[in-house]
């Protein structure tokens, strides 16, 4: 990522935990790149938590997911909802548990196939910026053997890590970065996301510590 303001390439977006702003960060990156004239696409292969709001452009009948709708709105490449979010689970909980409740079984090969299939469509070929957003943190289970980390590995995508800036984030960020490297993937960049309604003591010092320890540039300054 040569220009931290306008990223290019294909990346997997993960976080230090759930509710740390992965979708917010992904949308800001997509919007910045779109404003620079780049072709952008955000995908959410699996989402847990459905609501009755319609998909943008009327591309889907039935419930949708808020994060997937946000990615669609921020992307310059417009795909049908089912290609952006092929697996929508009803309950807002860990995806493997939500799938169990619905009698469904997910696996990494199928999720990766959905992503590759979306990229084979004429509209989505060769995006300048592709962001594939996970669910929750790096090692969230997909089934009893696989996690979303395995999806990033299967897709061979460098990783952008969203760090929710709150007490404990240093440990969470460094452990996640170690796990990403142990998976054989590159930590391409990270974001220090100050969460709405929360304050962190010594925020600047904590960010400086992460800048010293994380082997990747900080973006979205």
Q: Taking a C-beta distance cutoff of 8 angstroms, is the pair 56, 161 a contact?
A: no
Alpha helix (H) residue ranges in 15-102:
22-35, 66-74, 81-84, 95-101
44 catalytically annotated:
yes
Six-digit token string for 92? 């807002």
Per-residue pLDDT tens listing for the chain (221 residues): 445 456 799 999 999 999 999 999 999 999 999 999 999 999 999 999 999 877 676 666 789 999 999 999 999 999 999 999 999 999 999 999 999 999 999 999 999 999 999 999 988 888 999 999 999 999 999 999 999 999 999 999 999 999 999 999 999 999 999 999 999 999 999 999 998 888 889 999 999 999 999 999 999 87
| Residue the block writes with tokens 């992307």 | 75
List of E strands, 4-68: 9-15, 40-43, 46-48
Nearest residue to 64 via CA among 97, 28, 89: 89
Domain ranges of the chain: 9-213
| Predicted pLDDT of residue 125 | 85
Report the predicted TM-score, pTM, of the whole model to 2 decimal places: 0.93
| Predicted pLDDT of residue 104 | 94
Which residues make Cβ contacts (< 8 Å) with residue 103, sequence separation at least 6?
none
Rounded to 10 deg, the angle between the 148-155 and 108-120 helix axes is: 40
Which residues make Cβ contacts (< 8 Å) with residue 35, sequence separation at least 6?
none
Q: Determine the CATH number of domain 9-213.
A: 3.40.50.300
| Predicted pLDDT of residue 57 | 62
Beta carbons within 10 angstroms of residue 109's beta carbon: 11
Q: Taking a C-beta distance cutoff of 8 angstroms, is the pair 177, 192 a contact?
A: no
Q: Which of 22, 44, 78, 139 is catalytic?
A: 44
| Predicted pLDDT of residue 195 | 85
Cα 167 to Cα 68: distance, rounded to the nearest angstrom: 28
Q: Taking a C-beta distance cutoff of 8 angstroms, is the pair 60, 96 a contact?
A: no
């Amino acid at each position: 990522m040569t220009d931290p303001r306008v990223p290019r390439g294909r990346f997997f977006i993960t976080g230090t935990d759930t509710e740390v702003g992965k979708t917010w960060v992904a949308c800001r990156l997509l919007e910045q790149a779109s404003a620079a004239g780049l072709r952008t696409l955000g995908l959410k292969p699996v989402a847990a938590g459905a609501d009755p709001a319609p998909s943008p452009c009327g591309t889907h009948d039935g419930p949708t997911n808020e994060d997937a709708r946000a990615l669609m709105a921020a992307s310059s490449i417009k795909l049908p909802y089912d290609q952006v979010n092929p697996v929508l689970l009803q309950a807002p909980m860990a995806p493997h548990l939500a799938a169990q409740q619905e009698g469904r079984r997910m696996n990494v090969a199928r999720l990766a196939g959905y992503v590759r299939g979306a990229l084979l469509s004429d509209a989505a070929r060769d995006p300048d910026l592709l962001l594939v957003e996970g669910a929750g943190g790096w090692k969230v289970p997909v089934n009893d053997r696989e996690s979303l980390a395995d999806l990033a590995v299967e897709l061979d995508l460098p990783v952008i890590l969203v760090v929710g800036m709150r007490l404990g984030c240093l440990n969470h960020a460094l452990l996640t970065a170690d796990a990403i490297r142990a998976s054989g993937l590159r930590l391409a960049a990270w974001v220090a996301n100050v969460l709405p309604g929360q304050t962190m003591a010594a925020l600047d010092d904590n960010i400086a510590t992460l800048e010293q320890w994380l082997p990747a540039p900080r973006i979205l300054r």
